[in-house]
């Protein structure tokens, strides 16, 4: 089987989407499936494992320079035609992906589209000069409908997103591609006293809240300040970077908050395992991969009801959820967990036990089964 994978974001950028792509590519490699990756120019990467990476020129997205805008070229077409894929997988096509999608459909190749970002709702959190970007939600939803209704099959990462796609007018069946976690890698054994000291600003005995991910406006991280203000003895560590970092540093100035920037490999594993509670107040999410990673590290979670959060959190057993923007319930969720430290540890153990059931290989195998089914049905 030969698979062409088109993605608008790839290494060296690090985020949830790139993580899922790399895990998929790793599994395809293990299964002996040939892959060619097509992406806008993200860096000096021309191969991932044994798979060639075919780049197109890209420019930084004005509102998020880590993302690249690009369009397919004649080289894209020639490389794809020469590769002769049996299946073309589009990872949530935007500028580069949409142009490539039109080309692929004209070539008559079978297509699978996986949904990863709700660009329509995400646009509400950006401004174009004096104009709020919410006005672009309707055309983005129209494009999403057109692409998913014309694809041979589509996948969503959570039941909430499946429902959202139905609401915007996607009429074809959308399957579920859930997210897993490497529970052997993300593990409580990575607890580290030096990391705990770093994340807590030298106060390791205080209650340590953790967030890992992009520092951007749609994550609504400023809501966590209410917890610091209302729950005595709490501290916050924000792991990651993004366009809202400087604004957040100003907002949290004078509070018990540490900004670490990106952490990778062992340092990231230690950060997860060395905290007490994972907090996730995001307004928009397709799944929320970091939530399951935190659970695998043994952390109870307090998160907004977005993406796959409600698919993975057992209310009162592994964490608490709240409506987007409900700061009162965010604070109450942290209070309920911290009221009894032993119960907090029990919730962490329950979160870990659930994460151990979320195997990546099983979920990646389902994707290959979709490939095979689509190819077989022509």
pLDDT tens column, 68-105 = 778 899 999 999 999 999 999 999 888 899 999 999 99
Residue 139 confidence (pLDDT): 86
Do 58 and 71 form a contact (C-beta atoms < 8 A)?
no
Task: Calculate what percentage of the chain has a pLDDT beyond 90.
Answer: 79
Of 297, 300, 294, 89, the residue nearest 212 (C-alpha): 294
Question: What was the pLDDT predicted at 287?
Answer: 84
What's the average model confidence in pLDDT over 193-219? 96
Distance CA 94, CA 221 (A): 26
Q: What whole-number percentage of the chain has pLDDT above 70?
A: 93
Q: Kindly report the average pLDDT of the chain as a whole number.
A: 92
Residue 278 is predicted with a pLDDT of: 98
Structure tokens at 150: 């014309």
Mean pLDDT of 235-259: 97
CA atoms within 13 A on the CB side of 105: 16
Q: What mean pLDDT comes out for the span 16-39? A: 95
Q: Report all structural domains of the chain as residue ranges with CATH numbers, in order of start.
A: 2-180+359-376 (3.40.50.2000), 188-355 (3.40.50.2000)
pLDDT band for position 116 (cuts 50, 70, 90): confident
Find the range with the poorest average confidence among 36-45, 240-249, 326-335: 36-45
- Supply the pLDDT for residue 92: 86
Confidence check: pLDDT of 66 > 90:
no
47-61, 238-252, 355-369, range with the lowest pLDDT? 47-61
| Higher-pLDDT residue of 168, 15 | 168
How far is residue 289 CA from its own chain's centroid?
5
Query: What confidence tier does 136 reach under pLDDT thresholds 50, 70, 90?
Result: confident
- Give the chain as a 3 state SS string: CEEEEEECCCCCCCCHHHHHHHHHHHHHHHCCCEEEEEEECCCCCCEECCEEEEEECEEEECCEEEEEEECCCHHHHHHHHHHCCCEEEEECCCHHHHHHHHHHHHCCCCEEEECCCCHHHHHHHCEECCEEHHHHHHHHHHHHHHHHHHCCEEEECCHHHHHHHHHCCCCCCEEECCCCCCCCCCCHHHCCHHHHHHHCCCCCCCEEEEEECCCCHHHCHHHHHHHHHHCCCEEEEEEECCCCHHHHHHHCCCCCEEEEECCCHHHHHHHHHCCCEEEECCCCCCCCHHHHHHHHCCCCEEEECCCCHHHHCCECCCEEEECCCCHHHHHHHHHHHHCCHHHHHHHHHHHHHHHCCCCHHHHHHHHHHHHHHHHHCC
pTM assigned to the model: 0.79
Give the Cα separation of 220 and 232 in Å (integer): 21
């Amino acid at each position: 089987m030969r698979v062409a994978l088109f993605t608008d974001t790839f290494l060296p950028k690090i985020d949830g989407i790139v993580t899922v792509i790399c895990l998929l590519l790793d599994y395809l490699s293990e299964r002996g499936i040939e892959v060619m990756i097509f992406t806008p120019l993200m860096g000096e990467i021309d191969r991932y494992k044994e798979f060639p990476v075919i780049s197109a020129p890209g420019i930084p997205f004005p509102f998020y320079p880590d993302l690249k805008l690009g369009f397919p070229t004649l080289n894209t077409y020639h490389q794809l035609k020469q590769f002769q894929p049996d299946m073309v997988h589009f990872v949530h096509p935007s500028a580069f992906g949409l142009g490539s999608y039109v080309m692929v459909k004209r070539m008559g190749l079978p297509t699978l589209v996986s949904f990863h970002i709700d660009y329509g709702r995400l646009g509400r959190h950006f401004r174009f000069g004096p104009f709020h970007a919410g006005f672009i939600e309707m055309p983005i939803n129209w494009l999403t409908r057109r692409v998913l209704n014309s694809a041979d099959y589509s996948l969503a990462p959570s039941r909430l997103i499946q429902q959202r796609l139905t609401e915007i007018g996607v009429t074809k069946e959308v399957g579920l591609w859930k997210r897993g976690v490497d529970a052997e890698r993300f593990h409580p054994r990575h607890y580290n006293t030096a990391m705990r000291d770093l994340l807590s600003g030298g106060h390791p005995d205080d209650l340590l809240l953790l967030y890992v991910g992009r520092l951007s406006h749609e994550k609504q991280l400023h809501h966590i300040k209410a917890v610091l203000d209302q729950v005595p003895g709490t501290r916050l560590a924000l792991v990651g970077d993004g366009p809202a970092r400087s604004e957040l540093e100003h907002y949290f100035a004078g509070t018990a908050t540490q900004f670490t920037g990106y952490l990778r490999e062992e340092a990231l594993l230690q950060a997860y395992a060395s905290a007490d509670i994972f907090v996730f107040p995001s307004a928009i999410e397709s799944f929320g991969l970091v939530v399951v990673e935190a659970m695998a590290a043994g952390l109870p979670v307090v998160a907004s009801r977005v993406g796959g959060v409600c698919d993975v959190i057992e209310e009162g057993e592994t964490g608490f959820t709240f409506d987007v923007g409900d700061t009162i319930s965010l604070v109450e969720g942290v209070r309920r967990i911290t009221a009894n430290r032993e119960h907090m540890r029990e919730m962490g153990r329950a979160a870990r036990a659930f994460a151990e059931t979320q195997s990546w290989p099983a979920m990646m195998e389902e994707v290959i089964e979709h490939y095979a089914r689509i190819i077989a049905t022509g």
